[in-house]
Structure 1
Amino acid sequence: MNVGRCVFAERGYDGTSVEEIASRAGVSKPVVYEHFGGKEGLYRAVIEREMERLQAAIVGAIQEGRWRERIERGVLALLTYVEDDTDGFIILAHGQVPGEEGTYSTILNRVTAQVSYLLALAFNHRGLDEDAATLYGQALVGTVSNTALWWLDERTPDKHSVARHIANLCWNGLRGLEALPHVAPDDQADPAYQADPAEHSEKDE
């Protein structure tokens, strides 16, 4: 499975052959077919293992602690996986089991469900609309996941700095949530808002 993960990450599903996997693993082709039924079976097994590892790492990181710490640990868990298991992340981010939806979107949906559940508890405690927790969960996970895709190639700044910055953005946004968010006025209603939104925001506060 480790050899298969490496080859799939290098060549993609279509560019990978059972012959190459067997050769690199030092086994015969029948061994691969016997254990996995062929290339697709091995690919599914690799993806399922990587999905379980990444989901467990992220969900485990956000279960306890202060909210800002949870965000930072969740980001750090994802980036650590990207750093230590790059091949696995490449397969999850860019690969897809034939005939099924993208694997990265699948795991993000699972993590989003967990994040939304935790946010709903916090919203209820603060007197906010817990029905909006799913929306905020989508926004938070989307921010983190897209940053991870960017960091896969950049690797700078370091993962700890990225985690702190993302936590800074997300936490300060969550901490300042309005119970009933208002729509910004349009240009005709308040031309000054378009000219200097930062100043307008300060006046609102």
Structure 2
Amino acid sequence: MDPRVERTRSVVMQTATDLLVEGGPGALTMDAVALRSGVAKTTIYRHWKSRDDLLAAVIETAIPRLPEPDPEADVETSLRAAMRYSVDTLRHTEWARMLPAFIMLSQHETEIRAISERMEWQHNNVLAKLVRQAAEEGLVEGDVDVDEAIAHLQGPLMIAHLANLLPIDDQLADSLVDRFLVAFGPSADEGRRAHDE
């Protein structure tokens, strides 16, 4: 790509991101982007056909992608690393400030919903591998419900962030893993079976 074109796209994307973070989806208009960025509206439309296309591009660029676990690490270490990564995305990035708008838009905008589904699939795929590995290694019950396990790990973190209930830090990440291991550990499974009998 021509460096000048790349610079222009970068300026527009950053401006659009700033507007979305500062004022929500309603603040991100082509007029506002052109005014703040200094890039002509006709130029912006050459790169993005509509405001919705630009909005989708901003969100697609910002969404976090959970890294694949280190194959050399044990599963508990990998679980802690995954949760700490999730904490970092909520603590240090524009994504944290963009998240409320993203959640709202994913309920109403087809393209944003598709981005949300791709992000969830990618995150859940990584976490599901770790939960299954934990089951194979006897760290959690063998017949663990993978979806329930993922919700147990990620759900409280999202609620804590959105409701501003707890500090979003590595201590919280580790605590969620500890609680997960207790709730889904083999001894918990034995306790449930004894109760059922």
Q: 2:142 aligns with which of 125, 128, 151?
A: 128
Write out aligned runs for 1:89-128 (5 A). 89-96=99-106, 98-100=109-111, 101=113, 104=116, 106-126=118-138, 128=142
Q: 1:38 aligns with which of 50, 75, 85?
A: 50
1:79 matched to 2:87? The reply is yes
Contact 1:94 1:104 (C-alpha < 8 Å) held by counterparts? no
Post-superposition offset of 1:181: 3.3
Unaligned runs of 5+ in 1: 186-205
Identical amino acids, percent of aligned pairs: 14
1:142 matched to 2:155? The reply is yes
Give deviations 1:176-199, integer Å, cap 9, x for gaps. 4426833857xxxxxxxxxxxxxx
The total of aligned residue pairs comes to 177
Post-superposition offset of 1:103: 5.1
Rg larger for: 1
Structure 1: distance between partners of 2:169 and 2:102: 19
1:168 matched to 2:183? The reply is no
Contact 1:116 1:137 (C-alpha < 8 Å) held by counterparts? yes
Contact 1:62 1:74 (C-alpha < 8 Å) held by counterparts? no
1:181 matched to 2:192? The reply is yes
1:69 matched to 2:77? The reply is yes
C-alpha spacing 1:64/1:35, structure 2 compared with 1 (3 Å): farther
TM-score between the two structures when normalised by the length of structure 1: 0.69
C-alpha spacing 1:91/1:59, structure 2 compared with 1 (3 Å): farther
C-alpha spacing 1:79/1:137, structure 2 compared with 1 (3 Å): closer
* Equivalence for 2:26: 14
C-alpha spacing 1:61/1:159, structure 2 compared with 1 (3 Å): farther
Structure 2: distance between partners of 1:43 and 1:128: 43
Q: CA RMSD in A?
A: 3.1
Give deviations 1:99-132, integer Å, cap 9, x for gaps. 35385565234312321233223323437126x3
The one-letter code matched in structure 1 to 2:35 is S
Unaligned runs of 5+ in 2: 1-12
Structure 1: distance between partners of 2:114 and 2:22: 18
Contact 1:123 1:133 (C-alpha < 8 Å) held by counterparts? no
